[in-house]
Amino acid sequence: MPLYDGMPAFPGDPPFRMEPVSRLDRGDPFALSRLALGSHAGTHVDAPRHFLSDGAGVDALDLDALNGPCWVVDASDGEGHVGPHAVDGLPRDSTRVLFRTANSKRWTDPRASTGPAVGLQLPTARALLGRGVRLVGVDGLSIESDPAGGFPVHRELLGHGVIIVEGLLLDGVPGGPYELECLPLRIRDGDGAPARVVLRSA
C-alpha cells in the first residue's frame, strides 16, 4: 500500500504525514521531507513484541520466514470473517499464506463497502498453526475479525512464532502459488515496521 497523507490507518494509530523540509521550487539545493508515521502504517509486519513483552523485535525476525514460496487464498466471498474452512484447500507444504478478502477492494474502489474489516477467526489461526505455517498475511489493517476485543488471533499466532503481515494490497491478485518478498524496515527492538512486499509469479 502506498504511504500518503490521508491514507487509511488503524483507529487510534498515528496518521501518516509527509512534510517538506527543503524544496526545489523555493530555491533549496535539494528536496527533503520529514516523515511522521506509526510503526504499523500501511503494509507492515507485526513482530512478536507487538503483543509479547519478551517477544522478538522486528529487527530480529528470520528473513527466511519472510521470504520464499507462499500461497494466496481467495477469501473474497463477502463473509465478514475468514473461517477455518478457508484453510482446507491449502497445499500441505504451505508455510506462508496470504488472504485476499473484500478489504483489498476498499483500498482501490471508493464505491466498495465501508463495513467492518474482514479478519481471521481464532479457529482459523489454530488451523494454520496445525499446518506449520510460519507467516500469515491479510489485506486489512488488522488480522483480527474483531479488533476491539482481546486480540486473540494476534496472541495465538505471535505467541507461536508466526509472523503477521497486515495492510497488503491484493486486489486483482488471483489465488494460488507465488514467491513472496517481504522486507520490513530494520527498526531496533521494533514492535512492527512498514514493509515493501512484492509477489512474483511462481
Total residues belonging to the chain: 202
What pLDDT does residue 112 have?
Answer: 57
The residue that leads in pLDDT, 163 or 10, is 163
What does the pLDDT look like over 1-47, one tens digit per residue? 999 999 989 889 999 999 999 999 999 999 999 999 999 999 999 99
Is residue 74 scored above 60 in pLDDT?
yes
The C-alpha angle 17, 20, 24, rounded to 5 degrees, equals: 150
What pLDDT does residue 15 have?
Answer: 95
CA-closest candidate to residue 66, choices 159, 134, 120: 134
What does the pLDDT look like over 82-93, one tens digit per residue? 999 999 989 999
What does the pLDDT look like over 56-70, one tens digit per residue? 999 999 999 999 999
Mean pLDDT for all residues in the chain: 93
What pLDDT does residue 109 have?
Answer: 67
pLDDT class of 107 with cuts at 50, 70, 90:
confident
170 close to 139: Cβ distance less than 8 angstroms: yes
Query: Can you tell me the mean pLDDT for 127-143?
Result: 96
What pLDDT does residue 148 have?
Answer: 62
Question: Which residues participate in catalysis according to the annotation?
Answer: 50
Task: Specify the pairing of strand 192-201 against strand 44-46.
Answer: antiparallel
Give the 3-state DSSP-derived string for the chain, with helices as H, strands as E and coil as C: CCCCCCCCCCCCCCCCEEEEEECHHHCCCCCEEEEECCCCCCCEEECHHHCCCCCCCHHHCCHHHHCEEEEEEECCCCCCEECHHHHCCCCCCCCEEEEECCHHHHHHCCCCCCCCCCEECHHHHHHHHHCCCCEEEECCCCCECCCCCCCHHHHHHHHCCCEEEECCCCCCCCCEEEEEEEEECCCCCCCEEEEEEEEEEC
Domain 40-201 has CATH 3.50.30.50: yes
Domain residue extents for the chain? 40-201
What does the pLDDT look like over 111-121, one tens digit per residue? 655 567 899 99
pTM: predicted TM-score of the whole model, two decimal places: 0.94
What pLDDT does residue 80 have?
Answer: 81
